[in-house]
Amino acid sequence: MHKVIFDTDPGVDDAMALLFLHQHPDIDLLGITTIFGNASIETTTRNALFLKNAWDIPAPVAKGVAETIDPARAHVDWPVMIHGHDGLGNIGVPDTVEGEPDARPAHRFIIDTVRAHPGEVTLVAVGRMTNLARALAEDPEIVSLVKAVVIMGGAFDVAGNITPAAEANIHGDPEAADIVMGAAWPVTVIGLDVTMKTVMTRPALAAIAAASGPRAKLLADISDFYIDFYAHIVADGMVVHDSCACVYVVAPELFTTRTGAIRVVCGGIADGQTIQKADGRSFPPSPWDELPSQTVCTDIDADAVMALITETL
């Protein structure tokens, strides 16, 4: 059983990933921590509670920070054209929903949960990395207590989706991503290099909804708007970025990887770009040599990943 904390900004593809985590038999979802990104922190937290209620998810929701790790960083607008004004495809999520977030802020919830299960918790982060960076700043010892960190973000050998250099989750808080990927805990990064190969078509989602009932029907309704947005990229379907990170937890064999230190460009024309250096010492010696080697996914068995997502949903 994989104990998971899901750090998320729901968000349409985040919603699918959450349902995958909730329904996969080998996942024990310990908590949902929210972050701004696809919408404000108030909206993503409201959405997490809404999905928790709709899908009977027992895991608590803990609200994350509202600001980038460097408060001086300029605000990036919410992508309402992708995720809708309500962050869930304009289905009309009520302004207030039943239930309250955990009393602790997300980064404190992460620290406490990791300390309660030393060596067992996988952090799956599919939004800005701000909560994880805050947790590291407050309790650096968690680097040796976390089992693994799996990130959806970045673009290594392909173009970004927010700028030619940067993917959205990294671009929204590059300093936080640089801290998280440079920390001495085992990180796996699943970026656009592989996620762009994973498409759930509208008919496939409709078939899942028909076969498995109201939970998947809600997911299909939420996804309609996002599928319309993706029409200029893929035919009648959506890229399931965040679900890829969840699949990696239970089926890493479906991914091809390479290892090496990672840095994130913080500022300038390539703000938010992710760069990986191949393992091995540099000549002349470089500060990169002192960074931990992390894992980046370079390819994916997209058919098998989509089959696993379909079966789980």
Catalytic residues, by residue number, are 241
- At which residue do the structure tokens 């992460």 appear? 110
Closest CB to Ca ion among 21 and 261?
21
Does 272 interact with Ca ion (rule: CB under 5 A)? no
| Cα gap 149→262, rounded to integer Å | 14
Given the rule CB under 6 A, which of 91-99, 163-171, 267-275, 281-289 is the region that contacts ligand BDR? 163-171
Does 152 interact with ligand BDR (rule: CB under 6 A)? yes
Does 101 interact with Ca ion (rule: CB under 5 A)? no
Does 126 interact with ligand BDR (rule: CB under 6 A)? yes
Q: Which residues 220-259 are close enough to bind Ca ion by CB under 5 A?
A: 242
* The only residue of 3, 5, 6, 11 in contact with ligand BDR, by rule CB under 6 A: 11
CB atoms within 10 A of CB 138: 13
Taking CB within 5 to 8 Å according to partner kind, which of Ca ion, ligand BDR, none is near residue 168?
Answer: ligand BDR
Given the rule CB under 5 A, which of 54-62, 108-116, 121-129, 153-161 is the region that contacts Ca ion? 121-129
Closest CB to Ca ion among 125 and 261?
125
* The only residue of 31, 84, 127, 153 in contact with Ca ion, by rule CB under 5 A: 127
Taking CB within 5 to 8 Å according to partner kind, which of Ca ion, ligand BDR, none is near residue 178?
Answer: none
Q: Which residues 78-97 are close enough to bind ligand BDR by CB under 6 A?
A: 79
Closest approach of Cβ 133 to Ca ion, in Å?
16
CB atoms within 10 A of CB 307: 12
Question: Which residues are CB-contacts of 27 (< 8 A; sequence separation ≥ 6)?
Answer: 1, 2, 4, 21, 246, 249, 250
Q: Which residues 218-247 are close enough to bind ligand BDR by CB under 6 A?
A: 241-242
Closest CB to ligand BDR among 88 and 110?
88
CB atoms within 10 A of CB 258: 15
* Torsional class of 276: left (φ above 0), alpha (ψ -120 to 50), beta (otherwise): beta
Closest CB to Ca ion among 63 and 261?
63
| Cα gap 162→169, rounded to integer Å | 9
Question: Which residues are CB-contacts of 52 (< 8 A; sequence separation ≥ 6)?
Answer: 32, 59, 61, 99
Closest CB to ligand BDR among 108 and 241?
241
Closest approach of Cβ 115 to Ca ion, in Å?
26
Identify whether the C-beta of residue 137 lies closer than 8 Å to the C-beta of residue 129. Answer: no
DSSP structural state of residue 142: G
Does 126 interact with Ca ion (rule: CB under 5 A)? yes
The full DSSP string for 176-194 is HHHHHHHSSS-EEEE-HHH
* The only residue of 14, 86, 167, 173 in contact with Ca ion, by rule CB under 5 A: 14
Does 11 interact with Ca ion (rule: CB under 5 A)? yes
Element (H, E) at 218: helix 214-229
Mapped onto helix, strand or coil, the DSSP state of residue 254 is helix
* The only residue of 7, 13, 86, 173 in contact with ligand BDR, by rule CB under 6 A: 13
| Cα gap 41→197, rounded to integer Å | 29
Does 261 interact with ligand BDR (rule: CB under 6 A)? no
| Cα gap 12→193, rounded to integer Å | 20
**Contact positions toward ligand BDR, by CB under 6 A?**
11, 13-14, 38, 79, 126-127, 152, 161, 167-169, 241-242
**Contact positions toward Ca ion, by CB under 5 A?**
9, 11, 14, 126-127, 242
